[in-house]
Chains A and B, each alone.
Chain A
Amino acid sequence: MGPTAPHRVSPSGPGPSLRDPPRGRPRSDSAPRVCDDGPVGPSAPTGRPVRHTRGEIRDLMLEAGLALLAEEGLGIGAGDVTFKRVFDRVAAHTGTRLTNASVIRRVWENQAEFQDDLLAAVALAGDGGGDRGETVEALAPVLAAVDRSTPAGRRAGLTQVCRVGGEASLRALADSRNWSLWVGVWVLAVTGPVSERGRRIRRALLDGYVTTTEAWTELHGMLAHHLGFRVREPFTLLQFTVSVGALVEGCALREGAEPGGGVVVRPTGPGGAPEAWTLFGIGLEALALQYLELDPDWREPVDGG
């Protein structure tokens, strides 16, 4: 969609006449009407109209563009993913040749419907779940080394879980292509106009969100139980998970703007040794201490499990 060929607007041209009332806000008769590509409109009511400078035109246009975006939202989509490109991709990777006739009115009504399905697939996948696997992997040695025989040991274990798990999950999320696609589709649903297409994608997003949140809640529950923590009244484990999810996503967005920013050294190691913390890890520890407390009835399993 490139620019159209330059042309002059005539007062009697296809657009509204200079004599026509504006379609939007009423304007006063004395408002300047400007044809700014050289000629002055012959029916200008107040003599020679003011010629706008480049800077003024720039400001006017930007303001109008912003107003339109504010009304309609950003366009977010998969418009570049055409049938042709996907057919080429499939042929290159699998040898299968497909044509429009293979899919149009057979699988999808048209290309736009395919692109909607594509966005729904991204939405349904949630954040991809990759960061969960990497977090568990990073936590395994920490969990194995925690001294759970005393409340102080369990508390120290929670601190290390927040530091190590926090760094692993933030890194995995910030590097995840799945997540950045998913958050893009999320923004589409939040900013886009209400439409059947938007509703469908939103439903898929919510389904993906529920699945992802459930999986994280389960993991948080297992970690809390392993360390002998319970949820403080009147909170729930789901609320903790939603809060942690919000913080990690906010931190991942910020990480995108300031990669590697926010590393803090704190004396949390053995004997007060300095350890590197991400800002998310510190926030995660804050949330963990807010939502969780030591369970006085918890007993360390005899088999160490």
Chain B
Amino acid sequence: MWDVRPVTPVPPVCDDGRVPPDDVPRAPRRSRRELAGLLVDAGRSILEEEGLDIGAGHLTFKRVFDHLESTSGVRLTNASVIGRVWEDQEDFRTDVLVSIASTADASGELDRTLEVLLPLLESADLSTPAARTALLRELARVGGEAGIRTRLGTRDWSLWVGVWVLALTTPLSGRRLRIRQALEAGLDSVTDLWESLFAELCAQLGLRVRAPLTLRQYTAAVSSMVEGSALRQGGDPDPVLIERPTGPDGGLQEWTLFGVCLEALAFRFLEIDPEWSPAPAPA
């Protein structure tokens, strides 16, 4: 933390070789290492106060016009947009960031996870509580691996989490507030989507949420686990695998760390519903 105590009288020093203009005794010349430490500490304290400069600063109108013309043949100029569509370039950048913030699942992660889970559900043995518990475990294993791979493999996610961090690390101004609101709305809508998927899975597997917890809380916990795991993974698309004796007859199966965590959360938030019975097969 930067020391903000009042400055005690210290002789001013020009450290570029020039002699100070008054009769103050010359302070010792600082070494390169000392200078580096001094300035990095000062810079860090500025960052701590103001946050990182995260954004789309490199996204100029000119670059976007060029991109549009080369990809679609549409020619635009500043006159097409300034004062007509956006107040200025910064206003446009804010809109781009708002657009990213509001599309929390642009990568279609939910669809891809479902694709992997559906075959498991179609061939599921739901005849006993033990079989349903085993299926929940398998869904965590397979769904966990698919979820984390999809997440890490998409550019959309890294942009989205970048905007999220931007919203967290910079002071709230009018434009930042718009990004933040879009982020919250996007987060809400994606949580709604996942919550309905989990509700459907619980209905299929005969599970219920342990009192006093809620499905919304479970969804939020899983979502936090996904975001945190993807951050920890640092963009490495090949997660570490652990072998566990969870297969048929204790056979070894590969688990991602994320899958192990998903299983833990599932067993903490969900339990077998003793009153559930499988839906009758369609006639």
Q: Which residues of A contact B (CB under 8 A)?
A: 1-9, 15-16, 18, 22-25, 27, 31-38, 41, 52, 54, 57-58, 60-62, 64-70, 72-81, 83, 85-86, 89-103, 106-108, 114-115, 117-118, 121-122, 177-178, 180-181, 183-191, 202, 205-206, 234-235, 239, 242-243, 245-251, 253-254, 256-258, 261-262, 264-267, 279-280, 282-283, 285-287, 289-291
B53 close to A33 (CB less than 8 A): no
A96 close to B13 (CB less than 8 A): yes
B251 contacts which chain A residues (CB < 8 A)? none
A261 contacts which chain B residues (CB < 8 A)? 220
- Our pick among B52, B74, B96, B180 for the contact of A77 (Cβ within 8 Å) is B52
A234 contacts which chain B residues (CB < 8 A)? 242-244
Given A61-B64, A66-B99, A114-B39, 6 further pairs, Cβ under 8 A? A61-B81, A69-B56, A94-B7, A97-B12, A191-B235, A239-B260
B81 close to A256 (CB less than 8 A): no
B235 close to A81 (CB less than 8 A): no
Measured between C-beta atoms, what is the minimum distance from B2 to chain A in Å?
7
| B-side interface residues, number (CB < 8 Å) | 119
Q: A8-B79, A24-B71 are in contact. Are A262 and B217 (CB under 8 A)?
A: yes
A286 close to B267 (CB less than 8 A): yes
CA separation between A94 and B74, bound complex, in Å?
55
- Our pick among A9, A92, A180 for the contact of B77 (Cβ within 8 Å) is A9
A4 close to B78 (CB less than 8 A): yes
16 CB < 8 A contacts A-B: A61-B68, A66-B96, A66-B99, A70-B155, A74-B162, A96-B10, A114-B40, A118-B40, A181-B51, A243-B257, A249-B228, A249-B231, A249-B232, A253-B164, A253-B168, A287-B264
Which residue of A has the minimal Cβ distance to B164? A253
B64 close to A64 (CB less than 8 A): yes
A95 close to B9 (CB less than 8 A): yes
Q: Tell yes or no: B205 within 8 A of A by CB.
A: no
CA separation between A68 and B57, bound complex, in Å?
12
Give B155-182 interface residues, CB cut-off 8 Å to A: 155-156, 158-159, 161-169, 180
Which residue of A has the minimal Cβ distance to B93? A65
A242 close to B217 (CB less than 8 A): no
Measured between C-beta atoms, what is the minimum distance from A105 to chain B in Å?
11
Most chain B CB atoms below 10 A, which of A34, A64, A188, A251: A64
Q: Tell yes or no: B200 within 8 A of A by CB.
A: no
Q: A74-B159, A187-B165 are in contact. Are A95 and B228 (CB under 8 A)?
A: no
B74 close to A189 (CB less than 8 A): no
Which residue of A has the minimal Cβ distance to B169? A180
A90 contacts which chain B residues (CB < 8 A)? 38-39, 42
Q: A80-B53, A107-B32 are in contact. Are A27 and B73 (CB under 8 A)?
A: yes
B56 close to A75 (CB less than 8 A): yes
B234 close to A1 (CB less than 8 A): no
A37 close to B52 (CB less than 8 A): no
CA separation between A8 and B80, bound complex, in Å?
9
A16 contacts which chain B residues (CB < 8 A)? 69-70
B32 contacts which chain A residues (CB < 8 A)? 106-107
Measured between C-beta atoms, what is the minimum distance from B3 to chain A in Å?
7
- Our pick among A75, A96, A178 for the contact of B57 (Cβ within 8 Å) is A75
Give B58-84 interface residues, CB cut-off 8 Å to A: 58-64, 66-82, 84
Q: Tell yes or no: B14 within 8 A of A by CB.
A: yes
CA separation between A68 and B77, bound complex, in Å?
18
Give the top 8 A-B pairs by smallest Cβ distance, nearest first.
A250-B228, A101-B16, A95-B10, A250-B224, A37-B79, A286-B268, A246-B228, A290-B264
CA separation between A247 and B67, bound complex, in Å?
39
Which residue of B has the minimal Cβ distance to A261? B220
Measured between C-beta atoms, what is the minimum distance from B66 to chain A in Å?
8
B16 contacts which chain A residues (CB < 8 A)? 98-102
Q: A68-B59, A72-B58, A257-B183 are in contact. Are A95 and B11 (CB under 8 A)?
A: yes
A7 close to B77 (CB less than 8 A): yes
Q: Tell yes or no: B238 within 8 A of A by CB.
A: no
CA separation between A184 and B51, bound complex, in Å?
9
Q: Tell yes or no: B265 within 8 A of A by CB.
A: yes
A79 contacts which chain B residues (CB < 8 A)? 53, 57
B78 close to A7 (CB less than 8 A): yes
B56 close to A254 (CB less than 8 A): no
Which residue of A has the minimal Cβ distance to B103? A66
A256 close to B12 (CB less than 8 A): no
Q: Tell yes or no: B130 within 8 A of A by CB.
A: no
Give B216-240 interface residues, CB cut-off 8 Å to A: 217, 220-221, 223-229, 231-232, 234-235
Q: Tell yes or no: B95 within 8 A of A by CB.
A: yes
Q: A3-B89, A22-B73, A67-B67 are in contact. Are A93 and B232 (CB under 8 A)?
A: no
Which residue of A has the minimal Cβ distance to B266? A286
- Our pick among A23, A108, A250 for the contact of B229 (Cβ within 8 Å) is A250
Measured between C-beta atoms, what is the minimum distance from A125 to chain B in Å?
8
